[in-house]
Chain A
């Protein structure tokens, strides 16, 4: 799963959102690190819709303009959960390695003799 797809799914995890809402939510979730362009966002929305991970929730017309809200499907919830678990496992492994490295007596074979 790409970083953009992960953030779009995460942005929709708590409630349905429209395109602009998703962009702002991603910016907030990533502390401004990830700023998707509109073209990129719609490419990701198309792909996630085709994969059945998100679906159209409802449409609203505000001041003559169309606003579409998207929501996670059950499959999307499962995919996001699995991806979050995979990322958490990776982060745990990194933390463990860092902690072990600090307490290790000296350089290991691979790094020390190179």
Chain B
């Protein structure tokens, strides 16, 4: 007869995907119940640590652990690609933003730059410094992933994502004006999905990160150059999303070209980019809407709208191409 403890362990094991339970459930239940006295089994429960270890195994087995079926292997590859592209985009955006800010301060005087951190008390000044510095850790996360320092990469991206929480928290603890909810939510979702993607998909069993061409440094540099150039060339149209959206367009076009030359490889990566495109599109639209109520030159709004349309078209193209590639295999 099944005891209550056995039922509880089986309930926890339901966190695992069906293919894994078919293979391992009976064996794992045997290990769990081995030295537990049958008479006391109804008073026991799985410990928090046991549940956590099964939850971690459930994530790994769903995201392409050793011996996983094709669909889980594809899911793992897609989440890893998404996390990589998203981290690269945010890493380059943070570097470009700060490099341009410092360059501007260097030529126009440092007073305005420094006023962003001073004159509002130590606490808020510290927050402003953290808001400025922490996003640079996206770059640390990007390089840590390629050096197989996955623990370090996780810490970097989780800390780098923290500043996106401040606009939501600030109105609760200070007299700050509540942020535009759509833009704050879109930034928060992009940052935290990227961070959780890195934490979940780059697990111990995940394959090493390999780029289709070039080095991680070259990719980072190329993204920074494209994003920086997009701001320098059209400074009047450059809002907070202009550079990352341009970076996405360049990445997506480059990926589609590579895919065409490599005869349809990388379906998971193509779909991952399509998903990233959706998030970038949400960010672009959220940042665009407030401009519609303000008197700004029509050409500026047209630039934002044009960028949104380009992101949307490329996202659809990526989704169609990626879906076809996967169906063909």
In the complex, the answer to whether A19 meets B30 with C-beta atoms within 8 Å is yes
Q: Bound complex: CA of A47 vs CA of B60, how far in Å?
A: 11
Contact stretch, chosen from A60-68, A72-80, A81-89, A98-106 = A60-68
In the complex, the answer to whether A38 meets B32 with C-beta atoms within 8 Å is yes
As a 0/1 sequence over residues 51 to 91 of chain B, the CB contacts with chain A under 8 angstroms (1 = contact) are: 01111110011000111000000000000000000000000
Q: How far is the CB of B87 from chain A (nearest CB, A)?
A: 24
In the complex, the answer to whether A47 meets B204 with C-beta atoms within 8 Å is yes
B50 to chain A: closest residue by CB: A37
Cβ of B121 < 8 Å from any Cβ of A?
A: no
As a 0/1 sequence over residues 37 to 53 of chain B, the CB contacts with chain A under 8 angstroms (1 = contact) are: 00000000000011011
Cβ of B28 < 8 Å from any Cβ of A?
A: yes
In the complex, the answer to whether A39 meets B30 with C-beta atoms within 8 Å is no
A37 to chain B: closest residue by CB: B53
In the complex, the answer to whether A39 meets B66 with C-beta atoms within 8 Å is no
Cβ of B29 < 8 Å from any Cβ of A?
A: yes
Cβ of B210 < 8 Å from any Cβ of A?
A: no
Q: Bound complex: CA of A37 vs CA of B49, how far in Å?
A: 8
Cβ of B31 < 8 Å from any Cβ of A?
A: yes
Q: Bound complex: CA of A67 vs CA of B66, how far in Å?
A: 21
In the complex, the answer to whether A50 meets B49 with C-beta atoms within 8 Å is no
Which residues of chain A from 40 to 67 have a CB within 8 Å of any chain B CB? 40-43, 46-47, 49-51, 62, 65-67
Cβ of B180 < 8 Å from any Cβ of A?
A: no
When the two chains form the complex, which single residue of A2, A20, A50, A62 contacts B66, counting CB atoms closer than 8 Å?
A50
In the complex, the answer to whether B30 meets A20 with C-beta atoms within 8 Å is yes
Q: How far is the CB of B57 from chain A (nearest CB, A)?
A: 4
Chain B binding surface, main DSSP class? helix
Interface residue total, chain B, C-beta cutoff 8 A: 26
A65: chain B residues at CB < 8 Å are: 26, 29-30, 33
Q: Bound complex: CA of A49 vs CA of B35, how far in Å?
A: 26
Q: Bound complex: CA of A68 vs CA of B49, how far in Å?
A: 24
Q: How far is the CB of B28 from chain A (nearest CB, A)?
A: 6
Chain A binding surface, main DSSP class? helix
In the complex, the answer to whether B204 meets A43 with C-beta atoms within 8 Å is yes
When the two chains form the complex, which single residue of B30, B54, B55, B204 contacts A66, counting CB atoms closer than 8 Å?
B30
Q: Bound complex: CA of A39 vs CA of B278, how far in Å?
A: 35
Count chain B CB atoms within 10 A of each CB in A18, A43, A66 and give the residue with the most. A43
Given contacts A20-B30, A38-B54, contact A43 B60 (CB under 8 A): yes
A20: chain B residues at CB < 8 Å are: 30-31, 34-35
Q: Bound complex: CA of A18 vs CA of B32, how far in Å?
A: 12
Q: How far is the CB of B44 from chain A (nearest CB, A)?
A: 14
B26 to chain A: closest residue by CB: A66
Q: How far is the CB of A50 from chain B (nearest CB, A)?
A: 3
A39: chain B residues at CB < 8 Å are: 50, 52-57
Q: Bound complex: CA of A23 vs CA of B29, how far in Å?
A: 14
Q: Bound complex: CA of A47 vs CA of B64, how far in Å?
A: 12
B55: chain A residues at CB < 8 Å are: 39
B57: chain A residues at CB < 8 Å are: 39-40, 42-43
Q: Which residues of B contact A (CB under 8 A)?
A: 24, 26-35, 49-50, 52-57, 60-61, 65-67, 204-205
Q: Which residues of A contact B (CB under 8 A)?
A: 2, 18-20, 23, 37-43, 46-47, 49-51, 62, 65-68
* 11 cross-chain CB contacts under 8 A: A37-B52, A38-B53, A39-B50, A39-B57, A42-B24, A43-B56, A46-B65, A65-B33, A66-B26, A66-B30, A67-B30
Beyond A19-B28, A19-B31, A23-B31: 11 further Cβ-contacts under 8 Å? A37-B50, A37-B53, A39-B50, A39-B54, A40-B56, A40-B57, A42-B57, A43-B57, A43-B65, A51-B66, A66-B30
